[in-house]
Every structure is written in structure tokens, then in C-alpha cells.
Amino acid sequence: MSAEPYADEELAMTDLEIINPSIPRGRFRFVLFDFDGTLSLIREGWPQVMIPMMVEVLADTGTREDDATLTAIVEDFVMRLNGRQTIYQMIQLAEEVKKRGGTPLEPLAYKHEYHGRLMLRIQGRIDALASGHATCDDWTVPGTHAILSHLRERGLQLYLASGTDIAFVKREAELLGLTPFFGSHIYGALDDYQNFSKKMIVERIIQENNLRGEELLGFGDGFVEIEEVKRVGGVAVAVASDEANRRGIHAWKRDRLVRAGADLVIGDYRQTDELMRFLFG
Ligand SMILES: [Mg+2]
């Protein structure tokens, strides 16, 4: 094909980066979205809660590693596991305690401690949404409602899958006005954690609908969802959202998501029209 309409210089104007220009386009029927950092900003700042908590736990083992060393180690596994259920980050923490000669708590106990600390940071946001003092736009990635509307108007079936506990995902999706886009296809972490994974959701979408890989489109800011969508031959859009500043591409997320196999990188959905033209031709 000649006259590729999406030449680099045109795209340089926007926050849309095409990593893999040869992806199959226009055949999508199903779309899988991650929740936190991809659509919702309610849990913005969660790594700044999880990472220091884990560094404290590891420092308490009496290890000789200093905080900077421990922070680097924790950051690496926390972000590598981002997208899976939170319990897996806590299972890894327990392993790291053991490696340092400590006796870990149950991973579920660490998860509860983390969640308590996170709620201190985000409860005000939830309350403001519930009382109407904040709007859906205040706590979603810019352009969220517009892109979901566009995809739905094209007749695509939308799925939401999160590593956050399902009860919270449903509540927060409702507060953000996102429930109608997904209907019954909202999935999240279960106490019985072996009965849920993004891999399972992806496989179920493919099997139940007899899809070819190129009919699946995925959006996410975590390593895991990008990997799983690519594993089945789908097209993966990295949402390298800068959750604090809400503009531009977050370089650190971008680099990891490209390594995970992302085909495209965006920072948010402000450029929905261009993105839709690229994806659907
Ligand atoms: Mg996420």
C-alpha cells in the first residue's frame, strides 16, 4: 500500500505513537479494557502507597539492603505484576520476606493492610463522586466516555477486566458512569483468586464468540493485559497515562508497555477521532 495516511510527522503532532504499523485493522468486534489507569483515575497514586509499604515490610526483616535498593526491587516486581490481581503482588512480597530470612504474614493480610492505606488516599474522591461534588470527568482518563461511545456505536462488544476486587470495580465504574458501556461484562478480582485472570477472560471472549485474534482489541496501562491480548493475536493499545498530570505519555509506562508487545501507545483519549480512523480505516 502506498500513500500511508499516518506518516510519522503527522502523528508527531499528537500523543499517538504507532509501534507496529502492520497490525490488522478494521476487523475488531470485541474490545477489552483494563480499569485503573486505563479508564479510571480514582486509584491514581496506588504505587506510591504499595511500594513504600512493601519497602517497610522488607526493611523489618533486618536486611542490610538500604531503602533505595529495596525500592528498586519492589518497584520492579510490583509493576511487572501490574494488571494481575493485587494478591499476586502480595504473594511476591511474602516470597521476598522469606528470601531475607523473615516470616511473612499471609498475602491476604498484606493485601488488607495495603487496601486500608490506599483508601486513606482515595476515599475523598469516592465520596466526592457519590455526593456529586466531583464529576465523572474529574476522575476518568480524558476522553474516556467519548471513546467508549464511539466503539459502542460501531457495534463493538465492550469488556472490562480489572485486577482490583470486583465489588470495588463495580462500585467505581458505576460512580464514573461507565456501567452502561459494559453491562454484565465487568470482571474483577475474586477472593477465590485462582478463578479469575485476564488470561481467562481473553480466552473466554475468543472461545465463546469464535473469534480470530485480529477481531480482539485491547486497551491497558499494565503489562499483563498487553501480554494477554498479544498472546492470542489481538491488537494492543498501551494507555501510558500520566495519571497525575492527565496529559501526555508517561515515558516509564510507555517503555514497559512497548516491551510487553504494545502495537500503539496513547496517553489518553483526547485524540479519539485519529485513533478511530487509524484502527478502523
Ligand atoms: Mg491498570
Q: Give the lowest-confidence range in 64-68, 136-140, 268-272.
A: 268-272
| Cα 196 to averaged position of ligand 1 atoms, centre (Å) | 16
| Cα 66 to averaged position of ligand 1 atoms, centre (Å) | 29
At 15 the pLDDT is 81
At 224 the pLDDT is 92
| Cα 191 to averaged position of ligand 1 atoms, centre (Å) | 19
For residue range 90-108, what is the model confidence (pLDDT) as tens digits?
999 999 999 999 999 999 9
At 14 the pLDDT is 56
In the β-sheet with 264-266, what is the strand arrangement from edge to edge? 16-18, 264-266, 235-239, 216-220, 30-33, 157-165, 186-189
Q: Is 50 exceeded by the pLDDT of residue 47? A: yes
| Cα 139 to averaged position of ligand 1 atoms, centre (Å) | 14
Q: Is 70 exceeded by the pLDDT of residue 130? A: yes
For residue range 8-28, what is the model confidence (pLDDT) as tens digits?
444 444 589 999 999 999 999
Number of other CB atoms surrounding residue 6 within 10 Å: 12
Q: Is 80 exceeded by the pLDDT of residue 133? A: yes
At 8 the pLDDT is 44
| Cα 146 to averaged position of ligand 1 atoms, centre (Å) | 19
| Cα 39 to averaged position of ligand 1 atoms, centre (Å) | 8
- Confirm whether pTM is higher than 0.85: yes
| Cα 88 to averaged position of ligand 1 atoms, centre (Å) | 14
Q: Is 80 exceeded by the pLDDT of residue 1? A: no
| Cα 239 to averaged position of ligand 1 atoms, centre (Å) | 9
Contacts of 7 (CB under 8 A, 6+ apart): none
For residue range 111-122, what is the model confidence (pLDDT) as tens digits?
999 999 999 999
Q: Is 80 exceeded by the pLDDT of residue 196? A: yes
For residue range 238-251, what is the model confidence (pLDDT) as tens digits?
999 999 999 899 99
Mean pLDDT for 54-70 is: 98
Mean pLDDT for 223-237 is: 96
**Mind listing the domains of the chain with CATH numbers?**
8-41+140-280 (3.40.50.1000), 46-131 (no CATH)
| Cα 163 to averaged position of ligand 1 atoms, centre (Å) | 8
Q: Is 50 exceeded by the pLDDT of residue 6? A: no
pLDDT band at 281 (very low <50, low <70, confident <90, very high): confident
| Cα 62 to averaged position of ligand 1 atoms, centre (Å) | 33
Q: What is the 3-state secondary structure (H, E, C) of the chain?
A: CCCCCCCHHHHCCCCEEECCCCCCCCCCCEEEECCECCCECCCCCHHHHHHHHHHHHHHCCCCCCCHHHHHHHHHHHHHHCECECHHHHHHHHHHHHHHCCCCCCCHHHHHHHHHHHHHHHHHHHHHHHHHCCCCHHHHECCCHHHHHHHHHHCCCEEEEEEEEEHHHHHHHHHHCCCHHHHCCCEEEECCCHHHCCHHHHHHHHHHHCCCCHHHEEEEECCHHHHHHHHHCCCEEEEECECCCCCCCECHHHHHHHHHHCCCEEECCCCCHHHHHHHHHC
